[in-house]
Amino acid sequence: MDVGPNGFDRLSLSQDRVDRLCRLLLSSIPRSDQRRWGEMYVRGLLLAEGRKTMRGIAAVVGSAAMQSLQQFISTSPWDWKPVRQSLAGYLDREIRPHAWIVETLAVPKAGKHSVGVERQFATGLGRVTNCQQSSGIWLASQEASCPADWQLALPASWVACPEQRRRAAIPDHIQARTPVQCAVDSVLAMAEHWGLTPRPVVMAVTDADLPYVMMSFGMRHIPFVLRVEGSLPVVTNDPAQGLGGQRIATVSRVAGELGDQAGAVEWQDLGQSRRRVTRVAGTRVRLPMSVDPLSHGAGASTFTLVGAWTDPTNNRPAEYWLSNIGHLPAPALFRIAKLTRRVSRDLHEVCDNVGVRDFAGRSFRGWHHHATLVSIAHAISVLSRDHGRHRSLAEQPLPGRPLIGSQR
């Protein structure tokens, strides 16, 4: 087969290489026949051309296997959570991620029978459409990224209707969740129970979602770098930069006033494999209690606000980031934030090619099984290509030590 646009040659996927990683990551599945179907499904995701339908996967691994593969994905009771935890631990050692990136995924659907599909506003698409929404947590370094956990965001209509629940086999404890709530649930589980190296969580949040995210991560001392909206109110708290006096102003105004102090930061745009230079400035701020419920007067936490002039035609910052990692300067936080470019590239060049958007079934369990095996296929793909681990001397590495909690 041909080399794809991401430089990955399917011919380099030896059966031995695929089998080795599948045996390692699927070892928590108790039955040997289920592990065998799992390996076959992963191989089909890697090798089938076009959309990864059950028929297309079966055509690659053996057409007689179609019914068994369908049953393995849609109705078999194997637990996907230990498989994802094994994958995350393996990635933690192999790619040594610098951050956990939250990537929401909206998949437009023509019908309304696939699990979780509803006409709704999709943040990633910026419009109301008939779609299925999910959140993925990606472990990302400069060389590679891979999804480790997925959550399907179920609209209220799907959990309120007993018939809908029955048809999709949605467990009783599953409730309606937004993509942001799903992402937070995944991060908390990974941080508290998966035994991974603590890394900053990078995600975009609206003003409406920020209090929930701040409280969820702040109470557990989870480090974060959040992309926020320019309308967010903050309390200036950096007299050294002439922004003292406990003045309340919007993020866009505060960051815009730092223009004279912005410095040029060189960074690797991992979405386009090129070097870029962006003006970046940072300052310390507090948040009003209406935004950060954990803030209490003079003892409130301070955060680093980073403004980035990513649009050279605009004299005001185009991006705003808020972080509780107090010991890192603004340029380092900006470079961590831009690992989202690595994830965006790998999503479109690798994950799409192994079928992340292609599940058409009605089963809640089937969606999670498919997403889990897609993550394994993605990991095999990115770990099989040359990641260019020998960096140029001009490239400044991201901080390598664990980043645990905020520092005032």
pLDDT average, residue stretch 318-345? 96
User: What's the domain range around 39?
Assistant: 10-200+341-384
User: Are 220 and 196 members of one domain?
Assistant: no
- Phi/psi at 138 (nearest 5 deg)? -105, 135
Is residue 3 over pLDDT 70? no
- Phi/psi at 108 (nearest 5 deg)? -60, 140
Q: Which amino acid is residue 299, in one-letter code?
A: G
Q: What pLDDT shows up at residue 289?
A: 78
User: Are 318 and 370 members of one domain?
Assistant: no
Say if 334 falls within a structural domain.
no
Q: Which residue's entry shows tokens 């631990």?
A: 89
Say if 336 falls within a structural domain.
no
Of 56-60, 248-252, 300-304, 358-362, minimum mean pLDDT range = 300-304
In this prediction, residue 392 has a pLDDT band, given cuts at 50, 70 and 90, of very low
Spatial separation of the C-alpha atoms in residues 330 and 41, rounded to whole Å: 44
Say if 398 falls within a structural domain.
no
User: Are 51 and 77 members of one domain?
Assistant: yes
Provide the domain count of the chain: 2
Q: What pLDDT shows up at residue 296?
A: 61
Under a CB-based contact definition with an 8 Å cutoff, are residues 402 and 199 in contact? yes
Say if 333 falls within a structural domain.
no
In this prediction, residue 13 has a pLDDT band, given cuts at 50, 70 and 90, of low
Whole-angstrom CA distances from 377 to 21, 35, 71 are 10, 15, 20
Say if 73 falls within a structural domain.
yes
Give the tens place of pLDDT for each residue, 63-116. 788 999 999 999 999 999 999 999 999 999 999 999 999 999 999 998 888 899
User: Are 171 and 41 members of one domain?
Assistant: yes
User: Are 224 and 107 members of one domain?
Assistant: no
Between 58 and 10, name the one with better pLDDT. 58
- Phi/psi at 53 (nearest 5 deg)? -80, 160
Q: What pLDDT shows up at residue 391?
A: 35
User: Are 74 and 195 members of one domain?
Assistant: yes
pLDDT average, residue stretch 23-40? 94
Q: What pLDDT shows up at residue 314?
A: 86
User: Are 173 and 223 members of one domain?
Assistant: no
Is residue 306 over pLDDT 70? yes
Spatial separation of the C-alpha atoms in residues 290 and 208, rounded to whole Å: 11
Between 129 and 314, name the one with better pLDDT. 129
Spatial separation of the C-alpha atoms in residues 303 and 23, rounded to whole Å: 44
User: Are 191 and 60 members of one domain?
Assistant: yes
**In a 10 Å sphere around its CB, with 0-12 CB exposed, 13-18 middle and 19+ buried, how is residue 16 labelled?**
exposed
In this prediction, residue 318 has a pLDDT band, given cuts at 50, 70 and 90, of very high
pTM across the whole model: 0.89
Give the tens place of pLDDT for each residue, 195-230. 999 999 999 999 999 999 999 999 999 999 999 999
Between 243 and 214, name the one with better pLDDT. 214
Q: What pLDDT shows up at residue 89?
A: 97
In this prediction, residue 299 has a pLDDT band, given cuts at 50, 70 and 90, of low
Spatial separation of the C-alpha atoms in residues 170 and 400, rounded to whole Å: 40
DSSP state of 277: E
User: Are 313 and 351 members of one domain?
Assistant: no
Handedness of CA 249, 253, 257, 259 (dihedral sign): positive
Say if 127 falls within a structural domain.
yes
Say if 405 falls within a structural domain.
no
User: Are 225 and 286 members of one domain?
Assistant: yes
Say if 157 falls within a structural domain.
yes
Q: Which of 104, 116, 126, 288 lies closest to 181, judged by CA?
A: 104
How many other CB atoms sit within 10 Å of the CB of residue 223?
A: 25
User: Are 218 and 112 members of one domain?
Assistant: no
User: Are 172 and 56 members of one domain?
Assistant: yes
Is residue 25 over pLDDT 80? yes
Q: Which of 83, 121, 67, 165 lies closest to 362, judged by CA?
A: 165
